[in-house]
Amino acid sequence: MVVTVEKLARAIEKRLEVPAAEADAFSSRVMNYFGFGKYIIDNAIHQEDRRLFYRLQEAGLLKTSWETTLLLTGRSWRIFYWEIDEADLDRTLLGEPVNPPEKATYAELPDEAWAHAPPPG
């Protein structure tokens, strides 16, 4: 199925539990990046919009991937991509149960893990 602004907006409204007007605005911002493409490169996203992309990723509506390429200098360069998760979008709109995305590794770390101790001297 084709992803449209309206379809994505309804899924955002359901998944993020936001008002329809807010979901419409979010959907328009996201679809302005994707246009008719299936993937977009992360570098094309403005910093303030990247937070929205991460929020939609946590909700299971967007997913990321990456590839590594070799530069002429011999160094590796990693390229990150975003993709609308069409299957999850369809399940959300059909009201089917959706498996919640796995918790991020960092979210499971205890507070002590974030404390920075000086190196032993």
DSSP 77: E
pLDDT value at position 49? 94
The listed CATH number (3.30.450, 1.10.10, 3.30.160, 1.10.287) that belongs to domain 5-98: 1.10.10
Instruction: Please give the distance of CA 25 from its chain centroid, rounded to a whole number.
Output: 16
In this predicted structure, the answer to whether residue 107 has a pLDDT above a threshold of 70 is no
Full-model pTM: 0.71
Q: Largest Cα–Cα distance in the chain?
A: 61
In this predicted structure, the answer to whether residue 108 has a pLDDT above a threshold of 70 is no
Q: Which of 50, 53, 58, 54 is nearest to 88 (CA)?
A: 58
| Average predicted confidence (pLDDT) for the chain | 85
Bridge partners of 51, per DSSP, are none
Kindly tell me the sign of the dihedral angle through the C-alpha atoms of 98, 3, 54, 76.
Answer: positive
> CB neighbours (10 Å) of residue 121?
3
Query: CA 88 to CA 115: how far, in whole Å?
Result: 37
More confident residue, 64 or 110: 64
